[in-house]
Structure 1
Amino acid sequence: MGKQTSTGSWIAAVVVVAAIVAAGAYLARKAMHAGESPQTAPAASASAAPPAAPAIQHPIEQAQVVPATASTSALPTLDESDAGVAAALATLGADSDLASLLVSQQLVARIVATVDALPRHDGLAVFTLPARVPKGAFVVDETGGSPVLGERNYARYAPYMRVVDAVDPQALVAWYAHAYPLFQQAYRQLGYPQGYFNDRLIVAIDDLLAAPEPEGPLAVVRSKAFYVYVDPALESLSTGQKLLLRTGPANEVRIKAKLRTLRGLLVGQALPDTR
């Protein structure tokens, strides 16, 4: 935990994509496939039927987009989209620090890779993130002589929380729906030729919304180079849920409120607050 990827980066990503919102995985797969020759792949049987594509659960067309906020401008190619995407996200971030937090290359691919990784349990790599990690060192306090997650960590996420608060959900969803072909292309290039990115985004949002909201200091223990949660139930959470806990209870509630609104706009149906 101490040296693991920080939540601030994916907050900017997930809040910005779903409005919420690989490079590493994306480029690695791209390089690997580029080195393969057609002859090395096993030939498909002439009688074998191609696998059926999974049914789309959440078509982007169902997103609630206010006509006045929808764009009709032509999209750039994925390889040439960095400048336009960064500019659009900076505008959506209003007066927040989003522009200074975003990386400048492979932005859509990084967002897609980050969203895809959040519901998993194998962590995030810094070089695949679409935004810079929070400044400052990971802080551990002591309660009763035992290490706990330091409350001073929560202040490190202030710039990212300003993004969460500043982004207008309607405008973000409208932009995302317009730019969706770029996200879909990047998702397929990430290794899901028949996958549908918006479905994966909803899975990531639902996973974050299901994160627990424990009370009191969270006990941690050092394991090799990292800190991990002492409670096995917390340590077994997904990557996104564990990172969400690191933002602090108050920030977690604010993030979930924004995600709940965004999810409702994306699927065309509001999700009730069950807290």
Structure 2
Amino acid sequence: MSENTEQRSWLPYAIVIGVIVVVLLAVLMWPASEPEPQPVVEPETPAVAQPEPIEPEPADTFEATPPPEPVEIDPDQDVEPMPEPAPEPEPLDVSDTAIKAALETIATSPTLSRLLVNDGLLQRFVVTATNLADDETAPNHRLLTPPDQDFRVYTQADREWIDSASYKRYTPYVDVLESMSNEDLIALYETYQDEIQTKYAEIGDPDQPFTEVLIEAIDTLLDTPEVKMPVEVYTDSVMYKYADERLEGLSDPQKQLLRTGPDNMRRIKAKLRELKDSLMAQ
């Protein structure tokens, strides 16, 4: 199978990318609880009765008030300078460089810098998560670079099985996922909330909170069944497919989550459950 065919038909790294996006944005887009501002009621000013005008009596004499004495300033006296006005807040930097730096800061794994793409990060976040919620994948909007190693199968008794080495290709991606704490992601959400919601409004329902989309994506992945090793596949000369019809009938994101391997999938699901629990407790 050619490299291009394998990339088109068997994209197991895409689901790892999508999971990382869902985890990031599920926290980033969870609405912060803030009290609604109360309307300000202007107090009514009571009407005051105006006194009758009084005609002044003519004065016999008029004494002018003398001007104030000039005040001498001691040049050696310390004079406190006037405080400078507070500087205006700088506009939010939503460039790819700033966003990548923010993600690298909260990820304890140094691998993230190598795995992240360098352009359109916020847009890719939104598109990938939205596609996952719709049981689809978005390989053209991937956020991370694909693994360097090739997908591998082996033949036994005239049948093809997924090689366990194929699963290990995705362990660094899962390590990055686990290196990000929910608390840090919430702080990141507070920074980029408006920008991410604006981008979602361009491709989805502008009245729908993006949180709902993310929760649907998480639930879709959590519903992926776990299977025993080894997993049998076959090729129809175009792409690999699962020999088990039950697995082949799953959605594309679920099938690709299976392709990360049983150990990686358990770790991914554990992170998703932890995240969802913390979100629901907000």
Q: Please, what TM-score do these two structures have when normalized by structure 2?
A: 0.70
Aligned residues of 2:22 and 2:218 also touching (Cα < 8 A) = no
Which amino acid counterpart does residue 235 of structure 2 have in structure 1? R
Match of 2:11 in 1: 6
The secondary structure found in structure 1 opposite 2:241 is strand
Match of 2:105 in 1: 91
Q: Which of 231, 237, 240 is the equivalent residue of 1:227?
A: 240
- Runs (5+) with no aligned partner, structure 1: 22-57, 64-72, 270-275
Aligned residues of 2:14 and 2:256 also touching (Cα < 8 A) = no
Match of 2:130 in 1: 116
The secondary structure found in structure 2 opposite 1:19 is helix
Q: Distance in 1 between matches of 2:90 and 2:167?
A: 40
Q: Which of 158, 164, 168 is the equivalent residue of 1:151?
A: 164
- How many pairs align? 221
Q: Distance in 1 between matches of 2:135 and 2:127?
A: 14
Aligned residues of 1:220 and 1:228 also touching (Cα < 8 A) = yes
Deviations 1:157-202 (A, max 9, x none): 1221220231122212332244222221111112433332111111
Q: Does 1:19 align with 2:35?
A: no
The secondary structure found in structure 2 opposite 1:217 is coil
Which has a greater percent of helix?
1
Q: Distance in 1 between matches of 2:173 and 2:266?
A: 14
Q: Following TM superposition, where does structure 1 have runs of at least 4 consecutive aligned residues deviating by more than 4 angstroms?
A: none
Percent identity at matched positions?
Answer: 33
**Cα 1:95/1:122, change in 2 over 3 Å:** closer
Q: Distance in 1 between matches of 2:189 and 2:231?
A: 36
Q: Please, what TM-score do these two structures have when normalized by structure 1?
A: 0.71
Match of 2:92 in 1: 76
- Runs (5+) with no aligned partner, structure 2: 35-88
RMSD across aligned C-alpha pairs, in angstroms? 2.6
**Cα 1:141/1:167, change in 2 over 3 Å:** same
Q: Which of 60, 66, 72 is the equivalent residue of 2:31?
A: 60
Aligned positions of 1:140-219 closer than 5 A: 140-219=153-232
Deviations 1:2-30 (A, max 9, x none): 43463434434533552377xxxxxxxxx
